[in-house]
Chain A
Amino acid sequence: MAEALLRVEDLRVEFPTEDGVVHAVDGITYQVAPGKTLGIVGESGSGKTVSSLTTLGLTRRQGARIAGKILFEGRDLVALPESELRAIRGNEIAMIFQDPLSALHPLYKVGRQLVEALQAHKEISNSKARARAVELLGLVGIPDPGRRVDEYPHEFSGGMRQRAMIAMALANDPKLLIADEPTTALDVTVQAQILALMERLQRELGMAIIIITHDLGVVAEMADDIAVMYAGRIVETASAQSVFSGPQHPYTWGLLKSIPRLENDRSEELVPIPGTPPSLIRPPSGCHFHPRCAYAQPDHARIDPNLEQVPGEPTHFVACLLSPEERKRLWSELAAGRVPEQALAAGSGEGGV
């Protein structure tokens, strides 16, 4: 693999609260190569957003306890003082958020906000910055950018606001773009436009992208590599190809089998993951997924699995206590549309607290 642009090593982020310490990110390691796309998949509370916010130093103010390393081109962002981090944030690493309306300032014109993003990092005159702002709006496909630059966010539609956010993120030619659920608030046709835009810009500008989402369809389209997060940990990571063709973790199976798909037969039953995501204050013992896992054995509540390489696949890692043969057998049944007996037994007891 090429030299990593971003390498996160054993990152831990904890938030002390009145109820106890929230272990939001519990020792995760991943990397992104220049120009590549990493998809981080997980549900709410899996730690996917916190890990990215921490990359930009945005959890520091909230009293987070951070351990581990975030190496960006060799510099450790965790150890960097705020002033130096500020030179990287919005400049070399940019981020776009789920809700473009709350991420844009409602009282400033879109153009002015773009100019601000430019002038925060570069000595650039007002007129030049404005010209660049118009150019950026054009680049992200906003029609009539010369006029739109003087409009307020409320005059933009949802899709156009997200385009404006992307324009702002691109203002300083970042090497890494972190997109946190960038299309979740958008309609499907607009989502398709935004995803196509991100792919085009990545080709043209050669930046790396981390896309955080709960939507497996979106990662399948966008990502080169995928990391699946559950309860603050990465439970499986591999190339997008391997995750979809030979997923190894029961949680990944659960995600894949619990979404209805257009190409599947209607009569095919969804196999939900029983129960609900765990508390991050008192995460389950052993394998964090064992209370919801249909295939858990008694000792899985004791033993904490490490992320280990899948035999025969050098870039595929999984944190699961089942044997590789067992996993292979179970997935082949699931993939064929059958529900293994264990899953049937576990699925009927859903809905417990």
Chain B
Amino acid sequence: MAEPTTQPPPEGGLGGVPVDRAPGEPLVEVTDLVKHFPITRGVFLQRSVGAVKAVDGVSFDVRRGETLGIVGETGCGKSTTARLVMRLLESTAGELTFDGQDITKIKGARLKAIRRDMQMIFQDPYSSLNPRKTIGSIIGEPFAIHGLLTEKGERRKAVQELMETVGLNPEHYNRYPHEFSGGQRQRIGVARALALKPKLLIADEPVSALDVSIQAQVLNLLRDLQRKFGLTLIFIAHDLSVVRHMCDRVAVMYLGRIVEIGSGDALYSFPRHPYTGALLSAVPVADPNRHGGQRRLLTGDVPSPANPPKACRFHTRCPKAQDLCSVEDPPLEQKGTGTLAACHFPLSREEVVQMGLAAPPEPPAAG
């Protein structure tokens, strides 16, 4: 393991660290990451006529041992961000540091070596497993790729241990994916991702394709594994309650940008960005008595990422937008003692209470 490149973590507080950085020793540092997909016209001369700005200047840290959640709606760039961090996509601009190394441009053997340390779990447990391979060879494939455990018995033993770890019956080593249910297939995906003992695990919507009763099995498994192995996890989901349950810190994305980031507790109890507030207030509450608060419905649709609104990207749909918002792009900055938000006119405590997202303050609460 590389020597830590930063100071020892200042315990708990935010003092001393730069505003957009998490306290603690970062495993991943993302700085101004940009990914534009060109839009081309013409059959032969693929003229570039514009770009889908899928990720447009995103910076964040992932601290060792923490779970960072990324939430946002379809097309906000959360999956693209994950693929950029994994180096499955080439970034257009920006910097990417993993475990103290700049990995933005590395290639070949160096990239392969880094890939051992970061693994991914995909959304669809049906298309992410090769139907013609046995479970044993699917979970053992990372060993094969990296030329590890070449003795046959050795690899089998390691795979069966992994199967045990994720709650699969090791006797099913020779079975094929179709013999397993969705939840069990997702366990296979988790076992494969854990095979090389990665430092970073990225889970992209790992439970959205599963039934409710099975979702909880997989979420509990991920939580247990994280505690057991001290994994660092980037957890991407559109379901805000799942992210709340799983993550220490949460980043909210809108149209290729992070609009708010902070500890889960702060972000969910006192969201500052109006988009975060709208997302939270849109979540249906599984309690017929808790209709409380005025639901703030957003109107219209998310604008096209090929032609995002100028300045603050949310201003076209924002209930609090003023003239300034269409002129000046708000920086992501510390709001009070809570989260970092990119907003000129962040939500006040009263507004959050009005939306039914927080209990009214009893004594004048700090902050």
By a beta-carbon cutoff of 8 Å, the part of chain A in contact with chain B is 43-44, 143, 157-160, 187-193, 195-196, 214-218, 220-221, 240-241, 244-245, 254-264, 266, 269-274, 276-277, 350-353
7 tightest CB-CB pairs across the interface, nearest first?
A217-B284, A260-B245, A258-B216, A272-B216, A351-B167, A192-B282, A273-B213
User: In the bound complex, do residue B240 and residue A262 qualify as a contact, i.e. CB atoms below 8 Å apart?
Assistant: yes
User: In the bound complex, do residue B244 and residue A260 qualify as a contact, i.e. CB atoms below 8 Å apart?
Assistant: yes
Distance to closest chain B CB from A50 (angstroms): 16
Can you identify 28 A-B contacts, CB atoms within 8 angstroms? A44-B211, A143-B300, A157-B302, A159-B301, A192-B298, A193-B298, A193-B299, A216-B212, A220-B288, A241-B289, A255-B212, A258-B215, A259-B241, A260-B242, A262-B240, A262-B268, A262-B280, A263-B285, A266-B245, A266-B264, A270-B219, A273-B213, A273-B214, A273-B216, A276-B214, A351-B183, A351-B187, A353-B181
Bound form: Cα–Cα A116–B292 in Å: 42
By a beta-carbon cutoff of 8 Å, the part of chain B in contact with chain A is 73-74, 166-169, 172, 179-181, 183-184, 187, 211-217, 219-220, 238, 240-242, 244-246, 264-265, 268, 278-291, 295, 297-302
Q: A143 to chain B: which residues have CB within 8 Å?
A: 300
Distance to closest chain A CB from B165 (angstroms): 11
Partner of A262 from the list B180, B246, B283 (CB cut-off 8 Å) is: B283
Q: B241 to chain A: which residues have CB within 8 Å?
A: 259-262
Bound form: Cα–Cα A129–B54 in Å: 41
User: In the bound complex, do residue A261 and residue B73 qualify as a contact, i.e. CB atoms below 8 Å apart?
Assistant: no
Q: A262 to chain B: which residues have CB within 8 Å?
A: 240-241, 244, 268, 280, 283, 285
User: In the bound complex, do residue A255 and residue B284 qualify as a contact, i.e. CB atoms below 8 Å apart?
Assistant: no
User: In the bound complex, do residue B286 and residue A270 qualify as a contact, i.e. CB atoms below 8 Å apart?
Assistant: no
User: In the bound complex, do residue B286 and residue A214 qualify as a contact, i.e. CB atoms below 8 Å apart?
Assistant: no
User: In the bound complex, do residue A195 and residue B212 qualify as a contact, i.e. CB atoms below 8 Å apart?
Assistant: no
* Sample of 12 more A-B contacts, CB < 8 Å, known A187-B302, A277-B211: A43-B212, A43-B213, A189-B73, A192-B281, A192-B284, A215-B212, A244-B288, A260-B242, A262-B240, A263-B285, A272-B217, A276-B183
Pair count A-B, CB < 8 A: 146
Distance to closest chain B CB from A168 (angstroms): 20
A189 and B298 in contact, given A258-B215, A260-B241 (Cβ under 8 angstroms): yes
User: In the bound complex, do residue B217 and residue A353 qualify as a contact, i.e. CB atoms below 8 Å apart?
Assistant: no
Q: A193 to chain B: which residues have CB within 8 Å?
A: 297-299
A217 and B283 in contact, given A189-B73, A270-B245 (Cβ under 8 angstroms): yes
A272 and B220 in contact, given A193-B298, A260-B244 (Cβ under 8 angstroms): yes
Bound form: Cα–Cα A44–B212 in Å: 9
Bound form: Cα–Cα A160–B216 in Å: 32
Distance to closest chain B CB from A34 (angstroms): 21
Distance to closest chain A CB from B191 (angstroms): 11
Find the B residue at minimum CB distance from A230.
Answer: B213
User: In the bound complex, do residue B284 and residue A191 qualify as a contact, i.e. CB atoms below 8 Å apart?
Assistant: yes
User: In the bound complex, do residue A353 and residue B172 qualify as a contact, i.e. CB atoms below 8 Å apart?
Assistant: yes
Q: A277 to chain B: which residues have CB within 8 Å?
A: 211, 213
Partner of A220 from the list B179, B246, B284 (CB cut-off 8 Å) is: B284
User: In the bound complex, do residue A216 and residue B286 qualify as a contact, i.e. CB atoms below 8 Å apart?
Assistant: yes
Bound form: Cα–Cα A124–B148 in Å: 73
Q: A195 to chain B: which residues have CB within 8 Å?
A: 284
Bound form: Cα–Cα A269–B180 in Å: 26
Find the B residue at minimum CB distance from A350.
Answer: B217
User: In the bound complex, do residue A351 and residue B168 qualify as a contact, i.e. CB atoms below 8 Å apart?
Assistant: yes
Find the B residue at minimum CB distance from A242.
Answer: B288
Q: B242 to chain A: which residues have CB within 8 Å?
A: 260
User: In the bound complex, do residue A189 and residue B213 qualify as a contact, i.e. CB atoms below 8 Å apart?
Assistant: no
User: In the bound complex, do residue B284 and residue A187 qualify as a contact, i.e. CB atoms below 8 Å apart?
Assistant: no
User: In the bound complex, do residue A350 and residue B167 qualify as a contact, i.e. CB atoms below 8 Å apart?
Assistant: yes
Q: B216 to chain A: which residues have CB within 8 Å?
A: 257-259, 270-273
User: In the bound complex, do residue A220 and residue B287 qualify as a contact, i.e. CB atoms below 8 Å apart?
Assistant: yes
Q: A217 to chain B: which residues have CB within 8 Å?
A: 283-286
Interface centre among A158, A241, A266, by most chain B C-beta atoms within 10 angstroms, is: A266
User: In the bound complex, do residue B238 and residue A266 qualify as a contact, i.e. CB atoms below 8 Å apart?
Assistant: no
Q: B211 to chain A: which residues have CB within 8 Å?
A: 43-44, 214, 277
Bound form: Cα–Cα A28–B166 in Å: 37
Q: A352 to chain B: which residues have CB within 8 Å?
A: 169
